[in-house]
Structure 1
């Protein structure tokens, strides 16, 4: 038992990889009142989540009061300290992280040098992910697989931290971001499925929108209606195929989602001012 803690548990990764994201160790503790760590620096990322009680975290000279549901991040090379409250000492869990992708993933969750604390999460929901990480180790004779399992649970923990930080933001901003995301999904869907018989109503329904509302949001963000955007993607792809001089007009038509080559040729002329054959001839000169 650590003499500075009422409870102290730690599990260490015996086979840390050099991949994108690796757990070095994970633990849980209940420090005694006034217990302090630092000032110090680490050469890895260290996340703490407060389960109960409170304490003060100091990063690069800035103080943060942390309570249940708050998570604070110690960054490599940053001067830090933290201290348990003398009246209501905290209980916390932690995980140490390294890897080329750690900085990016933690930033995506909402952490930064200017914002090393994320607030407002359900501490016991997060606790379950920390426990999964900690229990990944010493479970088998294959430490490299244990390391892989721990990194998987770590990704889920970071994901949950990111969701919690976003839940605290302005509702209108969240709604706008959700629409942005759905429009991007629709654009991606069209760019991948343009050769299929796509229905705008079906697309809107699958994204959870009424067609009229979806079409309005799509046009506000792209300048084109979904139907116009689909036609643009098809015509741009048709140009690429015509320039390749390999496929026939019928084959180009079918490849970009038109069952009728005459109808395709009419739409191509309307869009480009030339028939497919004229476009190909002009490109070949």
Structure 2
């Protein structure tokens, strides 16, 4: 396939062509672009899952994952309504894109796990505000916001790589919880997945990450709940069930313990902002 000239797309170093946050409803959504786009496409998941088909394989990315589609590359991805996905996207171009991505993500991969982080959220929200308000110099500010987003993403990738626990079995257990947090899973089940007793599993997990398996599972669920309360119109009981807590009262107690606010007051504060 002929390589696209980035300079022909935009003479600027970095330019945001469009951006947004998609709150996928109960209907499935499928995007198919056999010849890709003329610009770069960044996809970052805040909640849910995205099923992606590339020329080499099929994979599923989840909350906290970042995907890049380069100009001219096939795009084939699907959101399932049952996953209630919240997806952030940016289409961008410029003469400096290739060099910038090579410097920040030297391994050249298309998929990364950067996690869920308030600093990244704030930068992306600022990008959306600038792009849609279109105040003076908004294009320059948008480019700066995107560069900050990419730099933070690269930093978190490096930190996660450097801070690996060294216990691959426990890291696989974390991934299993990330995949199954919406279900009514237990620590007994998590231990069984690893072929360990509950006491041995809990000891190894805390040794690897400094927190208990329950604390880790709660953190995943709370982060997902925060995003749903911030970005969707789901009620508290519905959010509780979607993140794996069918008891809304128990969910509210745990949520307040971790955030200092009840789900109701958290959602209200988000709206007031």
Q: TM-score, normalised by structure 2?
A: 0.51
> After superposition, where does 1:148-163 map in structure 2 within 5 Å?
148-163=140-155
Task: Provide the rounded CA distance (Å) in 2 between the counterparts of 1:111 and 1:35.
Answer: 32
Question: Is the contact between residue 94 and residue 130 of structure 1 (CA under 8 Å) also seen in structure 2?
Answer: no
Moved more, 70-79 or 28-37: 28-37
Q: Is the 8 A contact 2:40 2:70 kept in 1?
A: yes
Residue 52 of structure 2 aligns with which residue? Answer: 57
> Retained in 1: the 8 A contact 2:114–2:153?
no
Question: CA separation of 1:84/1:111 partners in 2, compared to 1, >3 Å: closer, same or farther?
Answer: farther
Q: Which residue of 2 aligns with 1:46?
A: 41
Tell me which of 93, 96, 104 is aligned to 1:101.
Answer: 96
Residues 272-283 of structure 1 correspond to what in structure 2 (within 5 A)? none
Change (3 A) 1:162 1:141: closer
Q: CA deviation at 1:112?
A: 6.0
Partner of 1:135: 129
> Alignment length, in residue pairs?
154
Q: List runs of 5+ in structure 1 lacking aligned partners.
A: 1-15, 173-285
Which digits, 9 at most, give the CA deviation of each residue in 1:88-140, with x for residues without a partner? 13111111110111112122232766x21111322554232222112113545
Q: Is the 8 A contact 1:111 1:117 kept in 2?
A: no
Per the TM alignment, residue 69 of structure 1 is displaced from its structure 2 partner at its CA by 0.5
Q: 1:25 & 1:43 partners in 2: Cα distance? A: 13
Relative to structure 1, the CA distance from residue 96 to residue 140 in structure 2 (aligned partners, 3 Å threshold; closer, same or farther) is: closer
Q: Is the 8 A contact 2:24 2:81 kept in 1?
A: no
| Residue 184 (structure 1) aligns with | none
Cα distance in 2, alignment partners of residues 95 and 130 from structure 1: 10
Is 1:18 the counterpart of 2:11? The answer is yes
Render the CA deviation track for 1:176-217: whole Å, top value 9, x for unaligned.
xxxxxxxxxxxxxxxxxxxxxxxxxxxxxxxxxxxxxxxxxx
Question: TM-score with structure 1 length normalisation?
Answer: 0.49
Choose 1 or 2 for highest CA Rg: 1
Q: Which has the higher contact order (CA 8 A, sep 6+)?
A: 2
Task: Please show how residues 59-98 of structure 1 align to structure 2 within 5 Å.
Answer: 59-98=54-93
Offset of 1:154 from its aligned partner? Answer: 0.8
Report the equivalent of 1:251. Answer: none
User: Where in structure 2 are there 5+ consecutive unaligned residues?
Assistant: 1-8, 165-273
Q: In 2, are the aligned partners of 1:50 and 1:123 still within 8 Å (CA)?
A: no
Say whether the 8 Å CA contact 2:42–2:67 is kept in structure 1.
yes
Change (3 A) 1:134 1:17: farther
